[in-house]
Each structure stands twice: as C-alpha cells, then as structure tokens.
A and B are shown apart, each in its own frame.
Chain A
C-alpha cells in the first residue's frame, strides 16, 4: 500500500499530481466530488457538506458547498497544470444515514447534495462519468492521480473502483 495518501477532511478540498492519492474517510450525507485530467494526470477531490452557498448565511468556507467547492477545486487543479476542458468527474456519497421520513425535505440532505453536485458540474461543462451515490451507508473514497480511478470502500457493502 502507498503511504502518501493526502486526507481531505469534511468541508475541505485538495489537488495532486500523479502518483499522488487523495482520500476522504467516512463520507455520509456529504459528497466527494472527484475531478481528473487524464492527460496531465492531475486529480482533485472536494468533500462538500451542503448544496449551495447562496442558501445559507455562513458561507465563508468555499470547500463546504457544491457550488463554491467546484470553482475552487478547478482553480487549484489549473494551478497544478490541469486544463478545465479535459476534466471529468466522478462523485460518491450523498447517503441518507438515518431513515428519516421521506416527507422531511430538510433531512434528505444527501440527495440534495448529489443533485447540486451534478448541477454545478454541468454548469462548468464537466461530464460526470461515474457515480456511487445515495442509499443508506457511509463510504471511504480514494482517488488515484495516476489513472483517475476512484475507489469506494464501505462497511458491509463491498469495495469497488468506479
């Protein structure tokens, strides 16, 4: 195993060149937005908590929201030499950890995070080529800058590359 994994915390983001590896531990209702430039072999990962920075009062941390995290992540990746038009996205997470009643919209935050992530990636013209989202369990993810593979690990629900 590699020892050089960079941990991306909750409401955090980071970008690396090959052969770097980015990981985020225990995604629940949050979404891990993974971006990859396969030509320049540059990967970026954002761990977003909320859909939209314009809907809350406290929006000082760009990495916390799908809209601002996407912008910030693209910027960081370009600084490493990535090109926006080459970026492709994979997303994971957005689970509903507790079986809240479906009628309570505010608590279906996992779904809303996924929808927002897809929306803002589309705004930037970044195609989403794979996703592992929803359901009711947590996911640890690893993004490999060498080949753009996105490893999803779970408790009791298997592991897979997407």
Chain B
C-alpha cells in the first residue's frame, strides 16, 4: 500500500511549485480570454482520505461543474478544472454574454456547456503544457469531459482511480479568484502513484527508487 505521509517537505514544496507553474500558465490564458485580472493563490498539496475528498469544494453535495482531462504519456493521471455552479455561470456569461444569473443548471444550453468544456480544455492544456516543460517529460491530455453534479459524485472518478493503489488521494490544488466578483475555482492535478514518483525523481528531489 502506498503511504503518502512519508513525503518530505522538499517534495511537498516541489509539488506546490508544479501547481504554481501549471495553474499560473492556465490563469494567464484565462485572463486573456476573459479580459480581467485573475489572481492565483499559493497552491496547496492535500493528502486526503476518500471520505474527505470534497471538503475543499464546500462539501459532498455542493453542486460543481467539473471538466476532466485524462493524462497519458510519461505521466498518467487526471487533471480537473472545477468551479461551483455560480462561478460557472459567471464564466459562461463572460464567454457567451447574456447569461441571466440565478438560472438553474438544467437551463445551461448545449452551446453554453460546450463553451465551458472548451474553456476547461484550454486551461487544462495550458496547465499540462507548463508541467511538461518543467519536468521535461511527455504529457498528453485527452479530449475534455464535462459533468455538473454533486462534488462527491464527480470526485469519485479520480478517487476510484487512486483507490486501486492507495487509501488516500494526493491533490495539488490551485485556487484562483477575482477581486471584483465571486468568480473562483480550482485546478486539481491528480497524478497516479508511479507518475508522482517520476515527477519527483525528474526534478531531483527524490533519491530512492
């Protein structure tokens, strides 16, 4: 069984730096598209039990929009872009215009969902592009997939992937937001266990095999 608790400080700091570089690149792309100033908070490396996986999003039943991209190549895992429903409405209105706030999620049109998916795709690709450059490895994103549902239900997908090898999930969380409105969201990088070891080795902070 994999035990994350033996990660050293230098390793945690390195993973935070990955969150910083990846999300920083994605935020730059988002700012350019949305035409506003978006701030990135210091990334957090969280090692959580499955039952607590949705805590950072505001609880198991919080309604979120999730765009998921699978990662293959030298690194395997999942990348997720997650926003609460309200932030999703702000993003969609920024992209599409004329979005009446307070509408139900059932009311998102196919076109709006498609725009949201594409935004997630661009952001995930920017993040992963920066990661690939940083670690000098091949990182291939899949096409994006979108789901709007309870946080726990959405996060069950990466949790199950992790569950095959560990009893906890390692999440590299990067939180962004604006000063002017309630837009905020999360980038989540979820490498599988061998990929995590490969990343740490590639960056020279892991000595063991």
Contacts and interface: CB of A to CB of B under 8 A. Distances in A.
A97 B152 CA distance: 11
Nearest to B143: A101
Interface size class of A (residues with CB under 8 A): 20 to 34
Q: Is the interface of B mostly helix, strand, loop or mixed?
A: mixed
Contacts of A139: 153
Contacts of B167: 11, 58, 60-61, 64
B114 interface: no
B150 A30 contact: no
B114 to A, nearest CB: 13
Nearest to B145: A98
Nearest to A27: B153
Interface string B59-74: 1110100001000000
Given A60-B1, A97-B156, A155 B150 contact: yes
Interface stretch (B18-26, B121-129, B157-165, B178-186): B157-165
Interface string A24-61: 01111110000000000000000001100000111011
A7 B63 CA distance: 19
Contact of A28 (B1, B52, B156, B163): B156
B68 A28 contact: no
Given A9-B50, A57-B165, A58-B1, A137 B153 contact: yes
A29 B149 contact: no
A137 to B, nearest CB: 6
Interface string B67-83: 01000000000000000
A138 B153 contact: yes
A29 B159 CA distance: 10
15 contacts: A9-B51, A12-B51, A26-B60, A26-B152, A26-B153, A49-B159, A56-B164, A57-B1, A58-B1, A97-B149, A98-B145, A100-B145, A109-B157, A109-B160, A140-B61
Interface of A: 9-12, 25-30, 49-50, 56-58, 60-61, 64, 95, 97-100, 109, 136-140, 155-156
